[in-house]
Structure 1
Amino acid sequence: MSKQYKTVSLSDEQRIALEALCRRRKVDALVWKRARAFLLLDAGEDAGTVCRILDIGPTVLTEWRFAFAGAGLSFFGLKDYSQRQGHLSVVQEQAVRAHFTAQPARNADEVCAYVLAECDQNYSTSGAAKLMRRLGFAYKKPQLLPAQADEAKQAAFIAKYEALMNGLAADEMVVFSDAVHPEHQSRPAHGWFPKGQKTALKATSGRKRLNIQGALDLETFQFTFVEGEKINAQTTRQMLEKLERNNQTKTAIHVFVDNARYHHAKILQPWLDSPERRVKLHFLPAYAPHLNPIERLWGVMHKWVTHNRHYATFNQFTEAIFDFFRKTLPEKWPEFRDTLGSSFKCNTQSPLGIGCCDGHTKQAPQQRGPWRDISRA
C-alpha cells in the first residue's frame, strides 16, 4: 500500500456531516461505506486496515480518495458547507443578536435585509430563520399588556394575596369571581382535519348570549354560578348568597373580583355590610385580568364547548355550556387545574404562585424568563 494514501484530514464541517450521514436510519450502503472509510482514515487508521474493516479493495479506496479530493462532500451526495457563502463571523453574529434583541424582526425577510446591508452576506429566508434560531431567538407572538396597568399595585396585590393564603384558617375559603357572556355562534379554531379536503364550519344565524356570573374555588374544584338576562348588582348578590348557602361551615368567604361598577353598587353595600355577612370582597388591581384565574376558565370553556362546534339552537348551546360547568369541570379538574392555577404574575414579572390544596401559595415552575415590554423597541 502506498504511503501517500495512509491518512486523510477532514475539516470540522466535513467530519460533522459524515458522522451525521452514518447515523441516518436510511442511507445507501455504498454511501455509508464511503463515509465510514474517510472517517476511519481521518481517525488515523491506515488504508489497509480500512479496506479489511469495510471489505473493499485498495484500488477502490484510492479511487474514492481522488474523487473526494475533487468533489468534496458532494461525493457522498451532500452539499459541501466547508466553503459556504453567507457565513458570519463571531463579531457579526454578536452584532446581529444585539440589533434584533433591541429591535425584534417581524419576519425572515427583515433579517435577510439587515444582514445584507450590514454584513454584506446574502441569506435566503430559510437560512435567516436558521441563523436566528442559532442565535437564540424564537418566532413567537408577544402578549399584549394593558397600557394603563400599574405594576406596583399588582405587586402589592400579589403580596396581600400571598399573606392571606398563608394565614388562611381551615374554616375560610377563597374564590375568584367574574362574568362571561358566551355568544351563540360557531367559533372556528385550529384542529386536525383530513388533508386535501376543504374544511368548513356551519355558522349560526342568531346572536343570542348567555350571561353567567360565577365564582371558582381553586382548592375544592367548586364552581358556583348564576345566570340572568344581564349581569348587575342583583345577579352579584344572588351569586354571593348562593356561595354562602353552599358553604355553611365557612366563617369567611374571600371573593376576589374586578372593578366592575356593579361590584361597587350602592344597593349592594348595605347587604355586604350586614353583621351576619360571611362574604368579603377583595378587588383586583385595575387593568389586570391576568391576575384572575377564572378568566382562564372561560378560555378552557370555549375550547371545550364552542371551538369547532355547531349548535343548531340556542337551547342546545345553553345546555352544552351548563353541562361543561356542572359535569365536565368537576370530572376534568385535574386536567384543567394546571391551566387555571399555575400562573400568577405582574405584567413584567416572572410567574408567581397561586393557591394550592394545603391553603398556601405554590411557587410556579420558572419555565419562562421575565416579561419584556417591546412597545418602545
Structure 2
Amino acid sequence: MKKQDVRSLSAKAQEALRIRAVQAVLSGRTQLAVADMFGISRQSLSKWLKAYRAHGFNALKAKPRGRPTGGTLKPWQAAQIVKAIKDRHPNQLTLPFYLWTRDAVCQLIENRFGIQLSVWTIGRYLKRWGFSPQKPVRRAYEKNDTVVQQWLTGKYPAIRHQAKQEKATIYWGDEMGLRSDANVGRSYSPRGKTPVFPGTGQRFGCNMISAITNHGQLNFMVFKGSFNSQIFLSYLKRLTKQAKQKVFLIIDRHPVHRSGTVKTWLDNNSEKISVFFLPGYSPELNPDEMLNQDVKSNAIGKRRPHNQNEMIKDIRNFLFRRQKQPQVVKNYFKEQFVKYAA
C-alpha cells in the first residue's frame, strides 16, 4: 500500500490514526502488517508505540501546533529550577521519578510555572546550566584479567563449538534483586559532582531470573523472597521445558548455582541441559547484564512503583514486551564487552 503523508492530515485525523494503529498492534497484529494496513512507515508506528508504552494513549493525542505560549524560561525561573535540581531529589518534590532525567525536569517546570518544554529544549537548558548525565562505574579488585582472556580466546570458543556439535542453544543467564530505593540509570547533576540519592523508609523489592540468546530469545521468572536452590531449580525446569533444543546455560559462580541440590539435578538431566561458569567477578562478560540494566532503567527506573505487587507487575509487563522484541534482545549483544557472544 502506498504510504500516506500523515502531516497532510488534520490534527484530529492524525490523532485518530495514531490510536487506531497502536490498537491494531495491541490486538496481536505485527507492526509490518499494521504499517501496510494504514499506509504509514514502520518508523512512525514504532515511535507511536514507544510513546504509548511510556505514557499511554494520552501521548498519542493531538497537541496544539506551534510554539507553546511562554515557551522559554526567564532568568529567575531558570535559577529556581537549577537550585531545585541541585538541592532536592525528584521524590522530595512529589515527582514520580527516581532520578533527574529530562522528563523529570520537564514536569518540574510545568508544575511550577505552567510552561511546557520539549525534552530537547530541556537538554539544551541543562547543558547551558552546566549539568551532564552521570553514572558511576565499578570494577571488582578480585577480577583476574588472565582468566578473562582465557575465557575469551579458549573456553568460550570451545563451548560454542560443543554447542554446535550437540545442536544445543547457548543461553546467558543471571539473577538480580530489585529494590524500590535503588538508584538506576543516569541523573542530571552539575559537572564533576556525582549525584547522591537518599533511601526511603518504605522499602520493598523482588527478584528476577532471566536467560537470553543471541537469536533474541528471552526466558524469565519474577519472584518474591530469597534466591535459593529450589527457586533456581524451578526456573531450570521451566527453561528446559520451553527450550526446543538442549540448553547450554552460561552463568556466574553464585553459591546457589553450585549447590549440591542443583548439581544432582543437573547430573540427572544432562541430556536436557549443561551449565558453564563465567570467570569470577566479570559480570561485564555476560550479555544478560544488558537486560538487567534495561529492566532497571526502563521498567522501574523512570516511574516509582508504590508497592511490591505494582513493581512485580511493571517488571513482568516490561519483560513480556521484550519477549516480543527479539531484535532488542539481539542488540544487547552489540555492547562492547559482549560482542564476542553475538
C-alpha distance in 2 between matches for 1:223 and 1:229: 20
Could you say which structure has the greater relative contact order, defined with CA pairs below 8 angstroms and 6 or more residues apart? 2
Match of 2:264 in 1: 270
Query: Any unmatched runs of 5+ in structure 1?
Result: 1-139, 193-200, 346-350, 356-377
SS in 2 for 1:229: coil
The answer (yes or no) to whether the contact 2:135–2:187 under 8 Å persists in 1 is no
Instruction: Kindly indicate whether the alpha-carbon contact (under 8 Å) linking 1:175 and 1:253 is maintained by their aligned counterparts in 2.
Output: yes
Greater fraction of residues in strand: 2
For 2:238 and 2:267, locate their aligned partners in 1 and report how far apart those are by CA, in whole Å: 17
SS of the residue corresponding to residue 168 of structure 1 reads helix
Q: Does 1:245 align with 2:237?
A: no
Map Cα deviations across residues 307-357 of structure 1 (whole Å, 9 max, x no partner).
231222322221101111112x1244424532x212464xxxxx75223xx
Shift of the 227–189 alpha-carbon distance from structure 1 to 2, 3 Å rule, reads: closer
Are 2:181 and 2:200, in contact at CA under 8 Å, matched by a contact in 1?
Answer: yes
Matched, 1:162 2:154: no
Q: How does 1:250-261 map to 2 (within 5 A)?
A: 250=245, 252-261=246-255
Shift of 1:282: 0.3
Which of structure 1's runs of 4+ aligned residues deviate more than 6 A?
Answer: none
- What is the RMSD computed on CA atoms of the aligned residues? 3.0
- Structure 1 residue aligned with 2:98: none
Q: Note if 1:285 corresponds to 2:279.
A: yes
Alpha-carbon distance in 1 for matches of 2:311, 2:224: 16
Q: Is contact 1:173–1:254 with CA below 8 Å preserved after alignment?
A: yes
- The correspondence of residues 186-335 of structure 1 with structure 2, limited to 5 A, is 187=183, 190=186, 205-247=201-243, 249-250=244-245, 252-274=246-268, 277-327=271-321, 329-335=322-328
Cα contact 1:181–1:212 (8 A) shared by 2:
yes
Deviation at 1:276, TM superposition (A): 5.3
Contact preservation (8 Å) 2:214, 2:329: no
Structure 1: distance between partners of 2:187 and 2:263: 47
Q: What's the CA shift for 1:245?
A: 0.7
CA gap 1:228/1:311 in 2 versus in 1, 3 angstroms: closer
Between structure 1 and structure 2, the one with the greater Rg is: 1
The whole-number CA distance in structure 1 between the counterparts of 2:135 and 2:226 is 35
Q: Partners in 2 of 1:188 and 1:261 — Cα distance?
A: 26
Residues 335 and 166 (structure 1), Cα distance of their counterparts in 2 relative to 1, 3 Å cut = same
In 1, Cα distance between equivalents of 2:213 and 2:156 = 14
Does the residue aligned with 1:211 lie in a helix, a strand or coil?
strand
- Between the aligned partners of 1:271 and 1:262, the Cα distance in structure 2 is 13
Q: Does residue 1:177 correspond to 2:181, yes or no? A: no
Q: Does the 8 A contact of 1:258 with 1:285 survive in 2?
A: yes
Kept in 2, the 8 Å contact 1:174–1:255? The answer is yes
Q: Secondary structure at the match of 1:240?
A: helix
SS at match of 2:157: helix
Identity %: 17
| Aligned counterparts of 2:213 and 2:178: Cα–Cα separation in 1 | 21
Query: How many equivalent residue pairs?
Result: 199
Structure 1 residue 271: Cα displacement: 1.1
1:341 paired residue number:
333
How far the C-alpha of 1:184 sits from its partner, in A, is 2.3
Q: Is the 8 A contact 1:204 1:311 kept in 2?
A: no
Gaps of 5+ in 2: 1-133, 189-196
